[in-house]
């Protein structure tokens, strides 16, 4: 009788099929001795060691950030700033001087308390709790002379298995060494998942039981299906080898279904460097230009002139191609001292996105003025507002844009109310772009950074797809284009489903363009529609994914 292999199942967040040996993340930095004490005369110098160690950690992270671009650079720069944030270092130093704790114990205790507070708040602050513990561990390692946390080194490429990964580690993964990434916690829109997609690594999160795999054990990882198969057979290994090239499929510059229906394949970018990379891959335009890079890490907002210069650099990389500029999405995951309130009990449901215009109207007016100036002489620059919930908000935003000569003004659909009332919203907005990350979070009432809720917070959830369908129906009635710029757009199978629901454009990490284009090209319109219907009728996200993939057999043939 043939033994049945146990398959570990998680949430696939980046497609690809690989076989390789498991390598576990090294043991974490141990908790320092809580009983050790420093004599009172030595406490000031002991506290000073914290400042020195934090500055060294920040310098190391900043140096690593300067060597990368795009999402990886953004994450590393944010983590570097956190390394000597007074919230952590001052609290740690106070524990040393007041209670006589060692520097390493003070950092550990202060960092743990800050992380616990953030985790309890949820939303953006909950997301950053993992970043705090990573910074804490790096400073403690520096103080104790240990090696900083990091990716294991091996003589052959491997499948990296971890409870979770700090964004700073994920950002600097070497794709020539790491074949795939599997974590026991995390969600489909976590920093780890986003960066894995940007690197083109097959990846699975929320894979319960994966930590039981012994180091060195061979496994097959299918990032599209979300499965880990221990001890793959020779046939499994042959299939994986044949499909390995799928992750590097080139993009021709034209997105179409198998029936020839055009689906614009666009890129998500956050700065000029990212725009140049995206343009070089053949992206048909930019579906999401995140403008937050101009505003982050500042005590005062940038001037109009500073914004014009920054926006022009991105637009110039895509001359002759559409660029959709999202206005400032401050709040929740991007708090800014000059507009957001750090004391909000639930930032994800607070004053964020377009809502900040009521608190700081000049901030939005100046930004629209800068966008209009940068777009002067071009008719392919669109602008959209985040976190629109009502038709009245859409009308107000479109009016503000019109007074500055911005003729093509649209909205992000991230709030279920906007999808449910999409017909009224699109009476005013020229287009809609669906942000599936937040739409799933709000629709399912599931914090998108909480691994325990990863199965709920999944763009494959039929309820989320139903909201997409409603928005697309309204778009057809109003003759308004509807696109998707959330992480769902980078999923080749889901891209086919979204096309079947009526989406006309998909915006993603540049690395995903080739695989998504291949998935669409192999699926006729009726196959996309059938896959969409199967997903909508499914009882769960897992069933929706399985049902759609069963109707898109070409995906498995090319490792998607």
- What distance in Å separates the CA atoms of residue 350 and residue 426, rounded to the nearest whole number? 24
Is 485 an active-site residue? yes
- What distance in Å separates the CA atoms of residue 159 and residue 314, rounded to the nearest whole number? 36
CA distances from 274 to 48, 71, 173, 211, 314 (A): 38, 8, 18, 35, 8
Catalytic residue among 191, 443, 472, 528: 191
Catalytic residue among 294, 401, 421, 485: 485
Residue-wise burial string across 395-412, b where 16 or more C-beta atoms lie within 10 A, e elsewhere: ebbbebbeebebebbbbb
Distance of CA 462 to the CA centre of its chain: 21
* HEC string for 213-276: CCCCCEEEEECCCCEEEECCCHHHHHHHHHHHHHHHCCCCCCCECCCCCECEEEEEECCHHHHH
CA proximity to 99, closest of 39, 45, 141:
39
> For tokens 């498991």, what's the residue?
22
- What distance in Å separates the CA atoms of residue 161 and residue 165, rounded to the nearest whole number? 9
CA proximity to 70, closest of 171, 188, 193, 179:
171
Degrees, nearest 5: CA angle 207-212-215: 110
Q: Which two tokens stand for residue 319?
A: 């001359």
- What distance in Å separates the CA atoms of residue 391 and residue 122, rounded to the nearest whole number? 29
Contact predicate 134/79, CB 8 Å? yes
Beta bridge partners of 506: 265, 484
Contact predicate 386/435, CB 8 Å? yes
Contact predicate 50/260, CB 8 Å? no
**3-state SS assignment for residue 282:** coil
> For tokens 């114990």, what's the residue?
105
Instruction: Count the residues in the chain.
Output: 560
Is 421 an active-site residue? no
Contact predicate 76/61, CB 8 Å? yes
Which residues are CB-neighbours of 403 under 8 A, at least 6 positions away?
none
User: What's the burial of 124, exposed, middle or buried (CB within 10 Å: 0-12/13-18/19+)?
Assistant: buried
Q: Sign of dihedral through CA atoms 410, 353, 13, 149?
A: positive
- What distance in Å separates the CA atoms of residue 143 and residue 48, rounded to the nearest whole number? 11
CA atoms within 13 A on the CB side of 242: 9
Q: Which two tokens stand for residue 239?
A: 């299939």
- What distance in Å separates the CA atoms of residue 277 and residue 314, rounded to the nearest whole number? 11
**3-state SS assignment for residue 389:** coil
Which residues are part of the catalytic machinery?
A: 191, 485
């Amino acid at each position: 009788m043939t033994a049945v292999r146990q398959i570990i199942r998680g949430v696939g967040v980046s497609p690809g099929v690989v076989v390789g040996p498991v390598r576990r993340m090294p043991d974490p930095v141990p908790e320092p001795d809580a009983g050790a004490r420093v004599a009172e005369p030595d406490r000031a110098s002991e506290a000073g060691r914290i400042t020195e160690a934090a500055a060294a950690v920040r310098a190391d992270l900043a140096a690593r950030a300067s060597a990368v671009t795009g999402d990886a650079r953004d994450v590393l720069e944010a983590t570097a700033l956190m390394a000597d944030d007074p919230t952590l270092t001052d609290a740690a130093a106070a524990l040393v001087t007041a209670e006589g704790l060692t520097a390493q114990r003070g950092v550990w205790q202060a960092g743990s308390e800050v992380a616990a507070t953030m985790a309890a708040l949820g939303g953006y602050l909950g997301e950053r709790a993992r970043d705090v513990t990573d910074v804490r561990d790096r400073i403690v390692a520096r103080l104790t002379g240990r090696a900083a946390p990091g990716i294991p080194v091996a003589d052959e490429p491997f499948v990296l298995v971890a409870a979770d990964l700090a964004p700073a580690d994920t950002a600097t993964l070497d794709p020539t060494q790491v074949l795939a990434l599997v974590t026991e916690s995390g969600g489909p829109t976590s920093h780890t998942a986003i960066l894995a997609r940007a690197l083109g690594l097959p990846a699975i999160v929320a894979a319960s039981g994966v930590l039981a795999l012994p180091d060195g054990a061979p496994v097959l990882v299918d990032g599209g299906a979300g499965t880990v198969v221990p001890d793959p057979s020779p046939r499994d290994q042959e299939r994986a080898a044949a499909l390995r090239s799928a992750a590097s499929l080139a993009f021709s510059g034209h997105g179409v279904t198998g029936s020839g229906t055009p689906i614009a394949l666009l890129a998500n970018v956050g700065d000029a460097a990212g725009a140049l990379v995206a343009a070089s891959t053949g992206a048909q335009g930019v579906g999401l230009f995140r403008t937050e890079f101009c505003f982050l890490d500042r005590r005062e907002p940038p001037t109009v002139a500073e914004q014009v210069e920054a926006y022009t650099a991105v637009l110039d990389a895509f001359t002759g191609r559409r660029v959709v500029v999202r206005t400032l999405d401050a709040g929740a995951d991007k708090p800014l001292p000059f507009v957001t309130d750090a004391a909000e009990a639930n930032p994800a449901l607070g004053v964020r996105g377009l809502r900040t215009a009521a608190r700081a109207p000049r901030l939005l007016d100046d930004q629209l003025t800068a966008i209009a100036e940068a777009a002067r002489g071009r008719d392919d620059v669109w602008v959209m507002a985040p976190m629109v919930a009502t038709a009245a908000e859409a009308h107000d935003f479109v009016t503000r844009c019109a007074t500055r000569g911005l003729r093509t003004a649209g909205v992000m659909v991230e709030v279920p109310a906007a999808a449910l009332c999409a017909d009224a919203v699109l009476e005013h907005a020229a287009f809609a772009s669906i942000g599936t990350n937040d739409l799933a979070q709000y629709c399912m009432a599931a914090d998108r950074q909480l691994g325990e809720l990863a199965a709920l917070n999944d763009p494959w959830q039929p309820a989320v797809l139903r909201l997409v369908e409603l928005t697309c129906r309204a778009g057809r009635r109003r003759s308004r284009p509807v696109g998707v710029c959330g992480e769902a757009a980078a999923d080749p199978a889901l891209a086919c489903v979204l096309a079947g629901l009526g989406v006309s454009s998909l915006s993603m990490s540049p690395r995903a363009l080739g695989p998504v284009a291949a998935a669409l090209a192999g699926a006729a319109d009726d196959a996309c529609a059938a896959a969409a219907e199967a997903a909508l009728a499914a009882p769960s996200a897992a069933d929706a994914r399985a049902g759609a993939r069963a109707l898109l057999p070409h995906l498995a043939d090319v490792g998607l």
